[in-house]
Structure 1
Amino acid sequence: MARSGRLLALMQSLRRRRRPVSAATLAEELGISPRTVYRDIATLIAQGAPIEGEAGIGYVLRAGFFLPPLMFDAEETDALMLGLRLAAGRGDAALAEAAENALAKIAAVLPSPQQEAAEDSGLVVARHSGAGAPLTAIRQALREERKLRLSYSDKKASATERVVWPVLIGFFEASEVLAAWCELRSDFRHFRLDRIATATALPERMPRRRRVLLAEWRALQED
Structure 2
Amino acid sequence: MSRSERLLDLIQILRRHRRPVSGLTLAGELDVSIRTLYRDIATLQGQGAPIEGEPGLGYVLKPGFMLPPLMFTDEEIEAIVLGSRWVAKQPDTRLSAAAADALAKIAAVLPDDLREELDATALLVGPSAEATREGADLGIIRKAIRAERKLEMTYQDASGTGSRRIVWPFALGFFDKVRVMVAWCEMRQDFRHFRADRISELAAIDTRYPRRRAAMLKEWRATLDTTRKL
Please, what TM-score do these two structures have when normalized by structure 2? 0.86
Whether the aligned pair in 2 keeps the contact of 1:179 and 1:189 (CA below 8 Å) is yes
Count how many residue pairs are aligned between Structure 1 and Structure 2: 223
Structure 2: state its 5+ residue gaps. none
Structure 1 residues 132, 78: CA separation in 2 closer, same or farther (over 3 Å shift)?
A: farther
Residues 31, 190 of structure 1: CA spacing in aligned structure 2 closer, same or farther, 3 A cutoff?
same
Letter in 2 for 1:38: Y
Gaps of 5+ in 1: none
Tell me the CA shift for residue 84 of structure 1: 2.2
Distance 1:43 1:155 in 2: 60
Partner of 2:89: helix, strand, or coil?
helix
- Looking at structure 1, the residues matched to 137 and 159 of structure 2 have their Cα atoms a distance apart, in angstroms, of 20
Correspondence 1:45-60 to 2 at 5 A: 45-60=45-60
1:199 deviates by 1.5
User: Cα distance, 1:102 vs. partner?
Assistant: 0.5
Q: How far is 1:117 from its partner? A: 2.3
Identity score, percent: 55
TM-score norm. by structure 1 comes to: 0.89
Write the mapping of 1:16-35 to structure 2, written as runs, cut at 5 A.
Answer: 16-35=16-35
Asked whether the 8 Å contact 1:134–1:196 carries over to 2, the reply is no
CA drift of 1:221 comes to 1.2
TM superposition shift of 1:132: 7.1
What is the distance in 2 between the residues matched to 1:132 and 1:188? 21
Contact 2:50–2:61 under 8 Å retained in 1: yes
The corresponding residue for 2:202 is 199
Q: What is the CA distance between 1:195 and its match in structure 2?
A: 1.7
CA RMSD of aligned residues (A): 2.1
Q: Determine if the alignment matches structure 1 residue 146 to structure 2 residue 156.
A: no
Hey, what does 2:118 align to over in structure 1?
118
**1:119-165 Cα deviation digits (max 9, x unpaired):** 22233234675737521221122122221122222222223222211
Q: Supply the AA of the counterpart residue of 2:75.
A: E
Aligned residue runs from structure 1 range 101-180, under 5 A? 101-125=101-125, 126=127, 131=134, 134-180=137-183
Letter in 1 for 2:155: Y
Segment drifting more, 196-205 vs 103-112: 196-205
Q: Is the 8 A contact 2:135 2:200 kept in 1?
A: no
The answer on whether the counterparts of 2:166 and 2:187 sit within 8 Å (CA) in structure 1 is yes
Whether the 8 Å contact between 2:136 and 2:200 is mirrored in structure 1 is no
Contact 2:19 2:60 in 1 (8 A): yes
From the superposition, tell whether residues 132 and 81 of structure 1 become closer, same or farther in structure 2 (CA, over 3 Å): farther
One-letter identity of the residue aligned with 2:99: A
1:25-61 Cα deviation digits (max 9, x unpaired): 2222112222211222222222222222222332222
Give distance in 2, aligned partners of 1:91 and 1:210.
Answer: 25
Matched, 1:70 2:64: no
